[in-house]
Structure 1
Amino acid sequence: MADRGIRRERDGGLVYDNHIPVLKRPPVAQARKKLNLKFIRSGIDKPFLILVLVLLIFGIIMMFSASFAWGLKDENDGYYYAKRQLIFAVIGIAVMTGVSFLDYHFYQNTKICYLFFGASFFLTLYAALFGHSTADASRWIYIGSLSFQPSEILKVAFIIIFAYIMSVNFPKFDDWRYCIIPFTIIMGLVAVVLMLQRHLSAVMIVGLIGISMMFVSGMPKKTFWKFIGACIAAVIVVALFFIVTGSGFTYISERIQSWKNPTSDIRGSTWQTYNSLLAIGSGGWTGLGFGESRQKYLYLPEAQNDFVFSVICEELGFIGAVVVIILFVMFALRGFYIASNAKDRFGMLVAAGITIQIALQAFLNIMVASNSFPNTGISLPFFSYGGTALVIQLAEMGILLNISRQSNIEK
């Protein structure tokens, strides 16, 4: 009898063999993109771009005011920090523009993803072991007169590799080997190298980013809570190790005590927090006026960096502080809007990770400045002085803008 063969029909996402449904190849293969250097020229999300530019311009103006006295002291030029930040902003805008055209699926390539993560990891490790040390923390690499902080690059690489593994392994998330193990290993590696730098604020940020990305990834609840359990167990083991050995991190307890009582040692350990609170309290409702801060005149250390928000409160008052907070809330909401309308799971996770990173840093910085959280040395995105951070942040905005180019958002 002649073989009638198999008649194949397609209906949506299924293939039918003689009316019997057969699943297509698992979507895991679809997540592994070939290296495709493609440029996208469709429209971008204009509200998000406007928000970024407003934060950037506002940030440079307030950083200039906060840094004026320290510029005079350090470089005999009150405009020193502002001029350098402006140069970095121009470079960052150029990078953001270029990255906004580069198809974000370029980062989804296996080689690019792991190479980017590996390079940033070893640069951060090199900085921890051989980099420039300030206040017992080695976080900087100097090349001639230029310097950069590789941990800022590592944050981006961490988000991309997390998003890549989630998009590839998503169909297998019920199996703990494909989610808990790779994510625990990656977070552990990043945490160790950042702890070598004595950069516990970055460890906390990366940990929260990773957990948040796991939460929004669609992972089964049971698997998610297993991952949380693994993270808690790792934290307990590390904490016990440092308690038993008494090595290296005794300053953590000092900062917690300073947080509990900011007036306990105003000429020593609580100097920063005390003067930050003085600056915030002096601003009142409407502030002393732009450029009129008193605490920035060498009373408030790192006024141009970690405590620029305190100067904003002193000069622009409660109203100015609320404006800054609202801008970051709007940034977070629009970033999540781009993520929710992304073309695919990888784009959604990258957009969510970047949004979480910027929003988290912003609100932790504000909490530190107002003594709602122990002093952790977290900078305020777009406002704090720092060339590496600003250029990397604007590059991340370029990635978000490219995701918006390919999303379902009305341009």
Structure 2
Amino acid sequence: MISKRAQSVSPSETLAISAKAKELTRQGKSVVSLSAGEPDFKTPQHICDAAIKAINDGFHGYTMNTGTPGLRESISNKLQRDNQLDYNPSQIVCTNGAKQALGFSMLAMIDEGDEVIIPTPYWVSYPQMVNVAGGTPVTVRTSFENNYRITPEQLEDTITDNTKAIMLCSPSNPTGTCYSADELKALADVLVNYPQVNIISDEIYEYIVFEDQHVGILNVAPELKDRTVLINGFSKGFAMTGWRLGYLAAPQSFADAAAKIQSQETSAPSSISQKAGEAAYRGNLEAVHTMRDAFKERRNFVVDALSNIEGVKCFKPSGAFYVFPDISHYLGTTSSNGTSVESSTDLCMYLIEEHGLAAVPGDAFGEPNGMRLSYASSMEDLEEAIKRLQKGLQNLS
């Protein structure tokens, strides 16, 4: 009864860890969870007010499949204002979250046997989306020493006649690393020689950049625009995870193709969420910057604390709200209770079961020597999490 396609897909390990944390909490156990990629802030009030007004005004019906004209115009204006990119509203498809924009992009782009290059550590859904579309994910292992960024040499060596696309995510989930303008230009200089290779640029964390301004590949290589799909949304920067609103911006032919798939799969996002998104992009970014500054303070605390734990290595990420420390020192150890830790998955299961700390193993992201900690939590929770992590690691030998 189950299709081969469904059998080829693995469940999200980040959601599995979150579910484990919730189950232990229901059992009355104390759990500090740093597993979820979800801001702990409320959606800014002016956005909520716009949604309430839409409800009260009776804006309850289906909208255009690709999104309301008002929302797509506000996205077009935002892309010009914040990213210096020109997209006609007709080139924008609004989706039920950025994850759907990515999934439909895979379905619109990938044929059986096509290869998609995915640098590791990667967001857990990237390879699975390629599998669902019938393609072949080709992972490229990056290094801790290079802050987990793919190099031009690695990219060049990985491209084959079957390569259809490369997936880029900056700022990155799960590492928080950001590509600089020079690094993106070096990758673009390789890609310009391979016109069959498309670029999927996931920029969902663009508003959470701490030292410099966000830079996307089209800012340094506008000549790649005719084969780039830009993915973005409202969940991270505006703390709108539950509103389920994202979008893609792409060449017109590709936007039309993705829109056809959406028309048969889900149709447009919620009408109320679209009014909220329109208000988000038409309003000022004061609340966004306040959240970003809070994330920066938390990042500094977590990185400094991790650096003081023996055997843990952690670089200071430039964006998002994750750290991805190297914990390879503790692989191959045993706890004082006899628990064997042979992998990052073993380590994370040990930490949650014996010390009440939920983190996501690097195995889920294609990097066995790491684990992801989200600092989208209160300082109180972060302080307690570090104590539990330190105690847990001290009990391994």
User: TM-score, normalised on structure 1?
Assistant: 0.28
Q: Which has the higher helix share?
A: 1
Q: Which has the higher Rg, Structure 1 or Structure 2?
A: 1
Q: Which has the higher strand share?
A: 2
